[in-house]
Each structure stands twice: as C-alpha cells, then as structure tokens.
A and B are shown apart, each in its own frame.
Chain A
Amino acid sequence: MSWVGRSLRRVEDPTLLRGAGMFVGDIAGAAAARFVRSPVASGQIRAVRGPAYTIADLDADGVGSIEAVLHRPDYVRLAQPLLARGWVRYVGEPVAVVVGDSAAAAEDLAEQVELDIEPLPAAVGLEAALAADAPLVHPEESPSNVMVAGEMATPGLAEALEDAHAVVELEVVSGRQAALPLEARGSHATPERFGGRTTLHASIQAPHMVRTVICDLLGMPEADLRVVAPDVGGAFGQKLPLAREDAVVVWLSRRLGRPVAWIEDRSENLMASWHSREQRYRLRAGFDADARLEALQADVVANVGAWPCYPITWGVEPLMALAELPGPYKLEHYGVRARAVASHTCPMSPYRGVSRPAITLALERLMDVAAARQSIDPAEIRRRNLQSDFPHTSPTGLRHDDGTYREAMELAVSHVDLGAFRARQRAARAAGGPQPGIGICTFSERTGYGTPAFAARAMGVTPGYENVELSMDPSGYVTARIGASPHGQGLVTALSQITADELGTDPSRVRVVASDTDRTPYGWGSFASRAMVLAGGATYLAAQRLAAQIAELAAEVLEAAAEDIVLADGRATVAGTSVGMDIAELARIAHHHTQRLPEGTQPGLSVQAGYDPAGTFSNACHVAEVEVDPDTGGVAVRRFVVAEDAGRLINPMIADGQIRGGVAQGIANALLEEVVYDEDGNILTTSLMDYLPPTVAEIPDIEILHLETLSDATVTGAKGLGEGGTIGAPAAVLGAVNDALSHLGVELNQMPATPERVRAAVRAAAGAAPAAHAAGAASP
C-alpha cells in the first residue's frame, strides 16, 4: 500500500485548531521596538529628535549595509542602510526606532520622536518615474530611475513582424498589490545571558538565508545566531526577503542585553512591507492567416519602488517577464526589453506568482484580442498555438518538460459546456441587465528549480539546492531534518508520506523538523513553488538511502542478501520467506548492540541527501464565468474551473487547497486589490477597508480537475503548484469580463478591474465609433 497519493489529514492541524500554535507575537517577555517611519515620499533628513536610535547609532557600532546584487553590467548596485541615512525615499521608510517596555509604551515613545525632513519632489507612478525630468530616487548612483534593463531578440524578429498576416498591438497593465499574509511580519530576538549567542524568532520563509545576511551585517559568526521561524501566519513571498527591521531587532537585543520584539501592525504592513505586481506590458504580435502566433515583441516595465529586496533584487519581476513571457505557446520570433524602474514608493518583493500573473494576463489578453480580430473562438486560437511537442525549448532557452497544455484546456472547456454557456449569454444579451461572460486562461508554471536556474540570474548569492538529514532512532521512529521552511503548505504531512513509503513504515512514525537553523541542515526555505519538489526530492533520496542501510543491517542479522530484504508494514522480511523482524527491533540493534555487527559498520541509522534539479513546468487551464453589471461596473464570479497538471500529487487534498487558495488570491488580484498612492506619494490604502482582500462572498466554489503527467524532471514525479492558482485566475477573470461586455465593444486590459474601471471602459466604448461595436469576440 502506498501512502503517496492519499489525502491524509494534516499532522500540523491539531495544534493550530486548539489555538496552541506559536506565532512570533505569542512569545512573551520582550521589550517592544517601534519604528518611526517617514511621512513623506522623498526628502532630506535634517534632524531626528527624541528618545530614538538612528542610523548614527548603527554606524557607530559598525553595522553594515544590505547589498542585493545581480552580477550584470546594467545593474545599479546600492548599499542600503538598515535605517534611512540622509534621505527618505518612500512613505513608511524606517528612519528611527524606539524601545519601550510594552507595545503601548513604545507607541507612546514613538510619538515623541520628531522627524525634521525637508520634502523634495517625488517620482511616484511608472510614468512619473520614467519621465525625462523625473526626480531621481538614487541620484548619486544612477542618472536615471532604470535600475536594471534586460533586452534580447531572436534573429528575424523584425522581418517576421513585417511579414505577418495580422499585427495586434496591446497595452496591459497590472496594478500594485500586496501579498497580505494575515499575520503581518514580526521578530523577537533574545541574547543569551552568558556565551554570546542570540536567538531570533521571526515570521519568515528562509531562516538560513536570514541568518547569513544578519550575521554579515552585524559582523557575527553564523554559529552565534540561531534563527527560528515558528508558526508563520501566511507569507506568499512577502516574508522571503530580509526585513531590515529583523536585523535591527537583533542589533537592539544585543546592544541592550535584553529580549526585544517588533510586531508589525497592519497599516505598517500595507505601507512599508513589500509591494508587488505594478507592471505595464506593451505587446506587438504577428499572427499568420490561421491565427498562429509567429512573432512577439514586448516592452515591459515594473515599478520596483525605492530599494531592492535581498537577495532576490528588484530585477526579479522584469527579468522573469523577459525570460518567461512566451508562456505555453509555440513561438519562434521573440524580442523583449524589460526594465526595473525605481520610484519613491514601497520596495517590491516577489508575491505568489511574481511576474507570472501579469505575464499571463498580457499573453491571454493578446490571444483573446487576436481571436476576436480574426473571428475565431478563444479556445480555438489556443488550440492552434499551444505547445504540444515535448520537451520544448522556448526562445529564451527554457526547457519545458512533458506537460498537457492542450489536454488541460480541452478538459476544462468541455467541463464547462461552452455551447450551453453561449446560449445563456445570447439570452442575457437580448434581455439586458447583468451580462454573463466566460474567460479561458492557459499557462505553464515554472516550478521546482534549483541552482542552475538561480545561477542564470547571476544573483549575489545563488539559492537552489535542498538538503535533508534522515535518521531512525532506537524506537524505530524517523526524524527528517529539512532546509525548507513550511508555513501552511502541509509539507510535514506530505514528507511523512514520502518517507513512509520508502521505509515501509507508517507516516505516524515520521517526524519532520524544520525552520530552526540549530536543528536543520542549511537550506533555502519555502518559496517559488519549490518545497514539494526540492525538499520532497531530497527526502525521497534520503529515505531510499536509509532503506538501503536498514536492508544491509537486516541482511546481516537475518543472514540473507541485502537485495532480498523487503521493507513493508514496519517489518524487514527476506523476500519469499516468512523470515523477518520488526524494523524497530533492527533500529535497537543499530544503536544498542553494535557488537553484533561486522567490524567497521557505522553505528546508528542516519543518512543525508541533497537534491538540486534544473526545474520543471506544471500547466493548467482556468475557466472563469462572471456576471458583469454594465450599469454599476460590478463583477461577480459565478463559476471557476481549474484543470491542472502538477505531475504526481503526493497528497491530493493539500494540492487542492493550494489551488483553491491561489485562485482566491488571483480573483481578488483581478477585481479588488490595489495599493493606491496619490501623486505626492502618500499611500491611501493602509487599512483593510481600503485595500480589499476577498471574503467568502466574492469567491465561488472552485471545481478542480486533475491530470497527472509523470515527468522525468523530478525524482518523485511531483511538480510544484503553489503559485498556479494566482497565476491563472486574473487572466481568466479579465477575459470573462471582456467577454461579457464584448457586444458593447469594451476592451479592458488593466487589473484590478474595479467597478470604476469597468464603467470607464463601458463609457469609452459607448463614445467610440459604432464600427467598434462589431469587434466583439465571436460566439461559436
């Protein structure tokens, strides 16, 4: 019997259900740090008055600056101080920090701190930051606000565009969004009274990486800092980069010789944690007479805020767009320029999907518009263009392993019954009132990549591999120590299933230790849909090694050949016989009776394995059905179907949970969520009454259909799927909104599609020439 493939209930849950989890804010007994943040978007600091620490105090202690580096000639290198030095560059930038005996006392102290800042002109939106006379965010280091610019073109692109049967031009815009984990960020540092070590508990995704960079900044040996990610209340990328506040908290605790904690509040989180997704795509695409995409030229700009994030840098969004824009489609001729544009706004970091929700939105809008222009069905244009020969190498050199790009679309489209929908739509158009629309989104999702993919980015540090240490104790229980750092993904349960299968034991006999640098091997944490592939692969390989060790031990004790030993149901048995013994009994011998083993046998039962694959591609098709009220601009999502291929599903219940949660975020990204600044750089969305995550009222039940292509790109056959829901949903929803209003000539290529924007698009279409009304999507 196999444990892999079964929807086991999660071992993580009972503690959380009792309210007995330990989140960083639950750790008592610390002084409270409160950061005093800039109230202006751009300005020169004249003085800081009051009971606060500033950059001068950090400088006096020799604390270093953060350097997030890409080794590229076009990359502007900066040294970022832990608190603002000289200038402030966004509303919310930390300028000073106070410490009080309680959070309330610290807030009172912070109110006594006076920031004397001379305001300067600010570059806020993308257009303002790109303008020829734009105020510069880092004038000493860069003569423009472009901080990295990637460019490439395949030979023959210009000719292919010139010769194309039809050329479609399109501008697609993604608004600025926030990952919004329900637990905001936070950290708690405790110096040992004797011995000089410090323990940092922090709400983070990559504890080892955070240990390295904080030790580099503070000049500490890594052995003297223990970093623990306790229960983490969601992250979605926002807790991957180093938070400079966390480094300051460690510095404060060591300086003051007492525990210090910083628990971010929600308005700080919305104002001064990381933002994402503010991008603009200008596409020029050539299609042949059969609506096959022949050539694509793109200009991509991303508003990356005032500072890069460590270690990913502010190249991550535009350079991912450069590399992955061709998506799941056959494409020969491709050219792109992708730029990171600094502005006087909150810095960006990866948020679930990173650039791919916007990439996919751009590409899928392109397909829908091209289909409408050539009067073919949205499913048909995808059918003609989707990649179907694998492995496939993209124009940017990415190897796509086996997938089901077309099959997933056919599955999703047949499941929704497009014909019946179109009949309903025709009736609704005749009747007036709210209009139904349907949107299709097909995409592939690059997941589970190790060192080779990160090395290609030329980052200052190269993440990638995962290590797992696996041991069996004398009771026959197994402990896996992993470098990944799960925070809600159910990885502990899934890894116990993998381990149990390889060792012929029960998952209840497997413990997984994670997220504590004192107790786990160096690793890169959980992000980029990687943990199931990387930590799962390393666990699988380690379990096979441990199984081999147990088999050799059993062979010795049972006087048989190791290759004849079968591990199953907690026993080691000689194949074809009834001779055998409990694995737990063998574990006793391995630890307590090594005199029974041949000289030179390594005592105990423990192994280590690393895994570092090149990566794989999951794929999916999302279909959204919406209802749009043309009079109010309101959009309701009525139905949502996902056909998904993420290879082997280790625990289908957990996989479905990842998909549903991702889709919910994607729907909200498409319709609701936007960080808004005024033109002076004041942020207008610092509460959950202004920034709008979805409630259950906005999210329909999500129907999930699975395909399972067992690619050879990973040792377990599993592909990553943590981000796919968020990647596909915005394009499906926007496609459906456009389809609903196509008879009015509406074309809306900006997310979120708020009621205001939908109404503006309806008004614009009504004001356009009547000929535009004929340009709606064809109905089969």
Chain B
Amino acid sequence: MTEISAADAAVPVVLAVNGTEHRVAVEPRKTLADALREDCGLTGTHLGCEHGVCGACTVLADGEPVRSCLLFAVQAHGAEIRTVEGLAAADGTLHPLQEAFWRHHGLQCGFCTPGFLMLSAGVLESRPDIGDDELREALSSNLCRCTGYQTIVEAVQSVRDAAEA
C-alpha cells in the first residue's frame, strides 16, 4: 500500500478564473487543467496529451498562454486565469476570434479549438501587429488533427487585420 504523506493532503488554493474567485482544496500534485475541469466545472479546457505538446489545454495566466497540464493548480494561486468560457462577452456575444474561427471554418471536431482560441487571444493581445511568419510560428505551438491549419491561420489573421484597420 502506498503511504499517504502529508504532501498529498489537499491544500486550499484560490483560483481567479474569468474574473470569478474559486476557493478550492486540491492535492499538490493536481494540475491546473484538472482543477479547472473538476473543481471549477470549466470543462472547455481540454486534455489531449497531458505532457505539454498538443496545447489543447492552453489557458491564459496573467495574459500569457500556458499549458495548464504542465502547471500545478497550487502554482496558479493568485494568478489571473482566463479560459475559453471567459472569451465571449457577458451577454453571450462571441469574441472576434470565435466569430472568425466560425466564419473561416477553423474547426471541425472542436477538441483543439479552446486551446487555439486562447493561444491566439494571448498572442494578439500582446502583439496586435504580429507578422504572418511569426504568427505561424506562434500557432505551431498547438496541434489540430482535423483542419490542416490553413483556416485557423486565416481566422487569426483576419482578426489581427480587422483590429489594425
């Protein structure tokens, strides 16, 4: 029988997600992704590999895209977390990136979509005038198995270009 050590006991963490404080008790080994999904009920953040490659679990932490499967929930204590559920406006109006992914057919099965949306949001917020090559490089952080990427790139470019205009 594995010994339960003090380190495994749940610890209180405050997760500020999409402007709402979630006071949760999590084991130190619990990832931010699992805490978001299981303790905050926010299942829009998806898990595709749990080893930091696919990026389906990408969320914004203090404005930076991060792999929530590679962060422990306790590390996110005090950070401002944003997930796909917080992207649309309070009245339900889709975020321009969501609209653009819809218009450009930037999703098929939709599993990678929350990660790509949050990655794109983080990139465009920090670099609204990012060039095409650098944008492509940034988007190569995440995997999509359905679209072949072209329509995802076009969707993000269209939002960048509309904001510049």
Contact = CB atoms under 8 A, between A and B. Distances in A.
A233 B50 CA distance: 15
Contact of B150 (A20, A490, A660): A660
Contacts of A657: 105, 108, 146-148, 151
Contact of A21 (B38, B48, B110, B136): B110
B94 A488 contact: no
Contact of B85 (A10, A13, A18, A661): A18
Contact of A696 (B51, B88, B113, B152): B152
Interface in B17-38: 27, 29-30, 37-38
B110 A488 contact: yes
A236 B101 CA distance: 22
A14 interface: yes
Contacts of A231: 109-111
A689 interface: yes
B143 A18 contact: no
A311 interface: no
Contact of B153 (A22, A182, A687, A696): A696
A289 interface: no
Given A19-B83, A266-B50, A657-B108, A695 B140 contact: yes
Contact of B145 (A104, A112, A181, A232): A181
Interface string A99-114: 0000010001001100
Contacts of A725: 148
A701 B107 CA distance: 16
Given A108-B2, A660-B147, A696-B149, A13 B49 contact: no
B139 A696 contact: yes
A104 B48 contact: no
Contact of B51 (A112, A266, A699): A266
Contact of A20 (B38, B44, B49, B146): B44
A230 to B, nearest CB: 11
Interface centre among B43, B110, B139, B150 (most CB of A within 10 A): B110
B108 A26 contact: no
B76 to A, nearest CB: 18
B137 A16 contact: no
Contact of A18 (B44, B139, B146): B44
B150 A699 contact: yes
B102 A697 contact: no
Contact of B114 (A19, A181, A654): A19
A490 B112 CA distance: 16
- Majority secondary structure, B binding face: loop
Given A17-B113, A490-B108, A699 B149 contact: yes
Interface in B66-114: 83-85, 87-88, 94, 98, 101-103, 105, 107-114
A260 B148 CA distance: 35
A490 B151 CA distance: 15
Contacts of B46: 23, 25, 182-183, 233
B84 A489 contact: no
B148 A661 contact: yes
B90 to A, nearest CB: 13
A664 interface: yes
A583 B107 CA distance: 34
B109 A232 contact: yes
B136 A697 contact: yes
- Residue of B30, B48, B145 with most partner-chain A CB within 10 A: B145
A265 interface: yes
A663 interface: yes
Interface in A321-372: none
A746 interface: no
Interface residues of B, number: 58
A270 to B, nearest CB: 10
B85 A488 contact: no
A180 interface: yes
Most chain A CB within 10 A, of B112, B146, B147, is at: B146
A657 B56 CA distance: 20
B101 A17 contact: yes
A139 B44 CA distance: 48
Nearest to B103: A9
Residue of A15, A21, A232 contacting most chain B CB atoms (<10 Å)? A21
B144 interface: yes
Most buried by A among B2, B54, B108: B108
A696 B136 contact: yes
Contact of B148 (A180, A489, A699): A699
Nearest to B56: A182
A487 interface: yes
Given A18-B84, A28-B38, A183-B46, A12 B110 contact: yes
A234 B146 contact: yes
Interface string A1-38: 00000000110111111111111011010000000000
Given A234-B109, A688-B53, A183 B84 contact: no
A183 B43 CA distance: 13
Nearest to B118: A19
B13 interface: no
B61 interface: no
B34 to A, nearest CB: 8
Contacts of B108: 234, 488-490, 657, 661
Given A266-B48, A699-B148, A17 B107 contact: yes
Interface string A646-690: 000000011011001111110000000000000000000001110
A702 interface: yes
Residue of A18, A266, A489 most packed against chain B (CB within 10 A): A18
B116 to A, nearest CB: 10
A183 B109 contact: yes
A487 B109 contact: yes
Contacts of B144: 182
A481 B46 CA distance: 29
Contacts of B145: 180-182, 234, 236, 661, 665, 693
Nearest to A183: B111
Contacts of A266: 48-51, 54
B159 interface: no
A635 to B, nearest CB: 17
Contacts of A15: 110
A492 B120 CA distance: 27
Given A180-B145, A696-B140, 14 more contacts: A16-B107, A17-B98, A17-B110, A19-B83, A20-B85, A21-B110, A231-B111, A232-B109, A234-B108, A657-B147, A662-B148, A664-B149, A695-B149, A702-B148
25 contacts: A15-B110, A16-B110, A17-B94, A18-B44, A18-B94, A21-B44, A21-B110, A25-B37, A25-B46, A26-B37, A108-B2, A181-B145, A182-B46, A231-B110, A233-B109, A266-B54, A653-B105, A657-B146, A661-B146, A664-B147, A665-B145, A688-B51, A695-B142, A696-B149, A699-B149
Interface of A: 9-10, 12-23, 25-26, 28, 104, 108, 111-112, 180-184, 231-234, 236, 265-266, 487-490, 653-654, 656-657, 660-665, 687-689, 693, 695-697, 699, 701-702, 725
The 3 closest A-B pairs by CB, nearest first: A19-B44, A16-B110, A233-B111
